[in-house]
Structure formats: structure tokens, C-alpha cells
Amino acid sequence: MSRIALVDTDQLPEAMRQIHDSADGAWGIQHTARAFAHHPDLLQAYLGFFWPWHTGEAPGAKVDPRTKELCRLRIAELNGCKTCASYRYQPMLIQESEAVSAMAGDGQPLTESERVAVAYAEMLAVDHHSIGDAEVAKVREHFDEAQLLELTMMIGQYIGFGRTLATLQLETVSCPI
């Protein structure tokens, strides 16, 4: 059960109604829109950051969207966020077998730079204090300074938003199955 009241669908502010209705039956996203109806400006500001940087549409984006999506999927698995793990933001960039591989953290059939990024995402999610110079040097073999900053920032927000959904029990409010 959600730890935050879900606003009735007929009471949703317009922006949250659009998110809710466009979710096409994805109940986790619909429930997130209903919860954030209490503070729609917060979710809109977050999505204003998330979407362009995740998809590579932000001016100056340096890390390819495929790598970010693979990292997001690994974080979803580690966070135990069913909503995030089931949703594919970039289905045209990632085959389902690759998504499953990223979530499992086994690295097959990803490129070397993708494997490094996904492993880095896992370290950030599981024990960020254990990341030392050697681990960062490994990431730098594949990503320059700007890419390292972008990758780290995006992974951090994947971790944070996933844990927000889990803590407030928004991804497991109800299951249609």
C-alpha cells in the first residue's frame, strides 16, 4: 500500500492527468502521477531534467542514451523497483535480451564501455564508498571527464528516484495480475 495518498484520477491536475493517461495501463507510472499530484511542480521539474539528459536530447549531452538506459535498468534491478525494471524508455536502442543482461549485471552481450558503465552504476548503488582511484581509472578508459560527470550524475538520479518510489511504495501499490 502506498505510503502517500493517491489523488483520485478525476482530481488530478492537468499535467499529472497527462502523465497518468499517457501511461497506457502502466500502473506504476499512473500511481506515481497520482502521488505527485500533491506536488506536481516537483515531478515536472524532475522530468524536465531527467528526460532530455536520459534521451541525449539535452544540449551538450555527452553519454549516449543506450548506455544511460542500460545503467538505469541495472539500478532498477538493484533498487528492486518493479516499475522501473519493467519500463523500456529506449526500446528501439536496446533489445530485450540486452535489457535482461544489464539488469542481471552479467555484461552479455554489451560492449566493453557499456559493461564498465553498468558495473560502475552497480558500485554507486551498492557501495559508493568502495569506489577508489582504480575503479574511476577503469571508467576513464572509456569515458572522458565530461562523460564521467554526466554518467555519475545520471546514475545518482536513477538511484534516488528509484528509492523514492520504493520508499513511498509507489511501484508496488497494486498489481493488475
More confident residue, 174 or 6: 6
Q: Is residue 177 scored above 70 in pLDDT?
A: no
Please write the tens of the pLDDT for every residue from 131-168. Answer: 999 999 999 999 999 999 999 999 999 999 988 888 89
Lowest mean pLDDT among 85-89, 127-131, 151-155: 85-89
Please write the tens of the pLDDT for every residue from 92-108. Answer: 888 888 888 888 888 77
Query: Cα–Cα distance between 74 and 110 in angstroms, integer?
Result: 13
Query: Cα–Cα distance between 65 and 111 in angstroms, integer?
Result: 14
Query: What is each CA distance from 12 to 19, 21, 102, in whole angstroms?
Result: 10, 11, 35
C-alpha count within 13 angstroms, C-beta hemisphere, residue 29: 17
Query: Cα–Cα distance between 20 and 27 in angstroms, integer?
Result: 9
Please write the tens of the pLDDT for every residue from 43-82. Answer: 999 999 999 999 999 999 999 999 999 999 999 889 887 7
Query: Cα–Cα distance between 20 and 14 in angstroms, integer?
Result: 10
Residue 32 near residue 173, CB atoms below 8 Å = no
Q: Domain 9-167 adopts which CATH fold? A: AhpD-like (1.20.1290)
What is the domain partition of the chain in residue ranges? Answer: 9-167
108 CB neighbour count, 10 Å cutoff: 11
The pLDDT value recorded for residue 176 is: 43
